[in-house]
Chain A
Amino acid sequence: MTLLSIKNLTKRFGGLLAVDDVSFNVEQGKIVGLIGPNGAGKTTVFNLITGNYIPDEGHILFDGRSLTGLKTHKIVSLGIARTFQTIRLFKNLTVLENVMAGCHCRMRSGILSSMLRLPFQRREERLALARALKELEFVGLKQHMDINAMNLSYGNQRLLEIARALASNPKIIILDEPAGGMNDYETNRLVLLIEKMQKRGLTVLLIEHDMNLVMRICEDIIVLEHGARIAQGKPEEITRDQRVIEAYLGIEEDEDEALEAEGRD
């Protein structure tokens, strides 16, 4: 079943065509990778899905519903949660309160019921707390719950973003370079975590430059270059695709540099 369907998505920034007529489907329960060179428009696609940008053309359908024109918080409440490429935590709040942010859109109590601490509000707070603790345990940060988010290590800050996204009870989680800045040990933990998320029934869409990670866990890969989709398929298909090799995977780095050096001379 198709959970997320992107049709002819186009986004321009002035004269720059950031996303050019991109279409793809994300199947329910799959781990899907979005790869491509820097500046290919991957993060722009994410920002279009989550409502941070408004597409110039095209549609995004989620669970049979159009997301066009909806604000980000509304899209989150429909079941799309995300993490950011540059970590965006609530730095001066505790790890626990960061995760509780995800619960916000699932809570109903208002100003008056909170002022009066009505029984239903207190029960809801308790349920949110339990949910936040569960997600902290899931990503393995429960022992750090009382410290401020800014005092976590870089890798743990990435995990905290994931916990916050999970606390909003999403159907799909969108991870923007989750392994960015992580060491090998942390990356391995992340792979296990993403697999655990899939087992929970979540669909995962991720951008990642660590090809090792992408090839290991993604069941479906979409490749972007200059804003356009140039390939889609299983990992083994992608690694053999000539255009993808030319655009992104292929040329060895030192060879590349040698060519550039020649050009400069």
Chain B
Amino acid sequence: MLKHKNTIQVAAFTVFILACPFFLDAYWINVINNIGLYAVLALSLNFIVGYTGLFHMGHAAFFAVGAYATAILNTSYDIPIVLLLPVSGLAAAIFAYIVARPIIHLRGDYLLIVTIAIVEIVRIALVNDIFGLTGGSNGIFGISRPDFYFFDIRTPHQFFYYIWAFLALSVLLFYNLEKSRYVRALNYIKNDEVAAEGSGVNVDHLKLTAFVLGAFWAGMVGNIYASKMTLISPASFNFWESVILFVIVILGGSGSIRGVILGAFLIIGLPEIFRQFAGARMLIFGGAMVAMMVFRPQGFLPPLPRKYPVHKIQPGGEKTL
């Protein structure tokens, strides 16, 4: 019954998204595209904040590394954008490994402060045109569009398919991962680090992989973002971006894929709908956050308990680990 309900929900959502290009104009499709980008970004942050329960408010730094890696390699060496997709992910992942390695044992608020520092350092380094590569506060322009053999991706409608296909693929992979020992172990760490280590979970290593994996995906989103904007500047990767991603995860439901996607719709989509109240936006935003933390701290759509095929295991008969 429950399984049935979930399938219907996913199907209804997919139909809704696929219908968007047929009745929305370029402006609104662009909004939907931004929601998609933020959704994948927030899903990548979800590994660190949602599954593992680490306070990480510097995710925009990894996003920035991916976007700048794409921009620099594309504008200087003319490497096609699509080839740079994994390269950007890798650059962000390596960066995450280097910065997270020494701080991985920090807990709670201490980690939070360091991650805020990371995103600020990255932004300031970009503004100061580090190594003469990043173009200072003007950023880098003239980044190419994604170019597949048969067609280029230019218009918002084309980007819509590109971004949401990327989102769908990410969700599929993350969904599989949720049902594996990997995310389970991250959840153990979130519940009780000492007990996790005492049960044989390599806590420090897994925390580090959560950062690296999250950064890899954020770096790939950076690639898509750079090619969508064709112009990037340090202002797009400030602390506030990190806060928004953090809020999407917490508000939607940390550790829940559907929750994070809903969070992206609420945080990125709603302000567009209520543009006439733009002046009061921050007030409503703040009030909504306070109300949520009081009445529904687990988020709108918290993760569902995982199901295991217990009925397929014959008691006593089967081989075990």
- Chain A residues positioned under 8 Å from B203 (CB to CB): 73
Of A105, A115, A116, which contacts B200 at CB under 8 A? A105
From A84, A103, A133, B195 is in contact (CB under 8 Å) with A84
Q: Are A128 and B198 in contact (CB under 8 A)?
A: no
Contacting residue for A114 out of B176, B198, B306, B310, CB 8 A: B176
* 9-residue interface stretch from B4-12, B125-133, B178-186: B178-186
Contact B188 A90 (CB under 8 A): yes
Compute how far the CA of A114 lies from the CA of B182 in the bound complex, rounded to whole angstroms: 8
**Complex interface: stretch among B17-25, B282-290, B312-320:** B312-320
- B213 / chain A contacts, CB cutoff of 8 Å: 111
Q: Are B195 and A89 in contact (CB under 8 A)?
A: yes
Most B C-beta atoms less than 10 A away, residue of A71, A102, A109, A126: A126
A129 to B312, CA, bound (A): 10
Which A residue's beta carbon lies closest to that of B191?
A90
A91 touching B198, Cβ below 8 Å: no
Q: How far is the CA of A111 from the CA of B306 in the complex (A)?
A: 18
CA of A91 to CA of B192, assembled, Å: 9
Q: Most chain-B Cβ atoms within 10 A of its Cβ — which of A77, A94, A100, A164?
A: A100
Chain A interface size range: 35 or more
B65 → chain A, closest Cβ, in Å? Answer: 20
Residue pair A133, B313 in contact (C-beta under 8 Å): yes
Chain B residues within 8 Å of A134, by CB = 316, 320
B305 touches A104 (CB 8 A): no
Q: Which residues of A contact B173 (CB under 8 A)?
A: 115-116
**Which B residues are in CB contact (< 8 Å) with A164?**
199
CB-based contact B320/A125 at 8 Å = no
Q: How far in angstroms is the closest Cβ of chain A from B16?
A: 26
- Tell me whether B309 is interfacial, beta carbon within 8 Å: yes
Total A-B Cβ pairs within 8 A: 138
Give chain A nearest CB distance to B100 CB in angstroms: 16
Say whether B202 contacts A73, CB under 8 Å. Answer: yes
Q: A104-B184, A115-B176, A115-B177 are in contact. Are A129 and B309 (CB under 8 A)?
A: yes
Contact residues in B for A91 (Cβ distance below 8 Å): 191-192
Counting contact residues on chain B (CB < 8 A from A), the size range is: 35 or more
Residues of A122-137 at the interface with B, using a CB-CB cut-off of 8 Å, are: 124-131, 133-134, 137
State whether the Cβ of B197 lies closer than 8 Å to any Cβ in chain A: yes
Chain B CB count within 10 A is highest, among A71, A100, A101, A128, for: A101
Interface assignment of B321: CB less than 8 Å from any CB of chain A: yes
CB atoms of B198 and A109 under 8 A apart:
no
Binary interface encoding of chain A residues 151-184 relative to chain B, with 1 for a CB under 8 A from any of its CBs, else 0 = 0000000000000110011000000000000000
Given A104-B181, A111-B213, A114-B176, does the pair A88, B197 have CB atoms closer than 8 Å? no
Interface centre among B173, B180, B209, by most A CB within 10 Å?
Answer: B180
Give the residues in chain B near A93, CB-CB below 8 Å: 187-188, 191
Sample of 8 more A-B contacts, CB < 8 Å, known A101-B199, A101-B200: A72-B198, A92-B191, A97-B306, A100-B184, A111-B182, A127-B318, A129-B313, A130-B313
B interface residues, Cβ below 8 angstroms from A:
173-174, 176-177, 179-182, 184-185, 187-188, 191-192, 194-203, 209, 213, 305-306, 308-310, 312-313, 315-316, 318-321
Residues of A within 8 A of B (CB): 50, 52, 71-74, 76-77, 81-82, 84, 88-94, 96-97, 100-107, 109-111, 114-117, 121, 124-131, 133-134, 137, 145-146, 164-165, 168-169
